[in-house]
Amino acid sequence: MATQVRMTGVDELVARLESVKYDVKYKGGRFALRKAAQVVRDAAKSNAQGIDDPETASAIYKNITERWGSKTFKRTGDLSFRVGVLGGARITKKAPKGSQPVGPGGDTRYWAYVEFGTERSRAQPFMQRALQQNAQAATDMFIRQYSIAIDRALKKAAKVR
C-alpha cells in the first residue's frame, strides 16, 4: 500500500540550507582562506626583511602581498589566494625614466634571483621557507576561522526560524 505525504515548508528549508551553504562556503571560506594566507605572507615578509639590503631603494618585503585567485575561482569554483611579490618576476630592459615603481617597495622584479639564485649567487629562499615553516599554522588558522564562520551561519539560520 502506497502512502502519499505532502510536506509544506520544505522549499523554505532547502532555500535556507542553500543560503547557509553559500554563506559558509564562499563568504566564510574566503575569509578563512585569506587569514591563512596572511600567516604565510607575514612569515615571508619577515624572512625577506632579513635578506633585503637596507642601502638600496627597493625593498622586497614591502611588496609581498596576498591576492584573491579570481582566475581559479572563475574556472573551477574553488577558492584560492596567492602569496607573492608585486610586479612578478619578469626581468626586462630598464624601465623608462620617470615611470612609477611597481609597488610600495619599488621595482623588485629581481626577487626570483634572490629566491632561486643564479649561477653566480647562491639561493636565499624566503618564500618557500615561509610556506614550509608555516603550513601547519596556516592550516590551523583556516580551520579556526572556518569553524567560526560555520557557527555564525548556524546561529543566523537558527534566528531566522
Q: What is the pLDDT of residue 96?
A: 61
C-alpha cell at 40: 604565510
Q: pLDDT tens for residues 64-95?
A: 999 999 998 899 988 889 999 988 776 666 65
Q: What is the pLDDT of residue 146?
A: 85
Q: pLDDT tens for residues 137-157?
A: 998 898 889 888 888 887 877
Maximum distance among all Cα pairs of the chain, rounded to whole angstroms: 87
C-alpha cell at 27: 563568504
Reported in sequence order, the residue ranges of the chain that DSSP labels E, i.e. its strands, are 64-68, 81-85
Q: pLDDT tens for residues 21-43?
A: 777 778 888 998 999 999 999 99
Higher pLDDT, 154 or 125: 125
Q: How confident is the model at residue 5 (pLDDT cuts 50, 70, 90)?
A: very low
Average pLDDT over every residue of 16-22 = 67
Burial track 107-141 (b if 16+ CB lie within 10 A, e otherwise): bbbebbebbeeeeeeeeeebbeebeeebeeebeeb
Q: What is the pLDDT of residue 7?
A: 47
Q: For the chain, what is the mean pLDDT?
A: 82
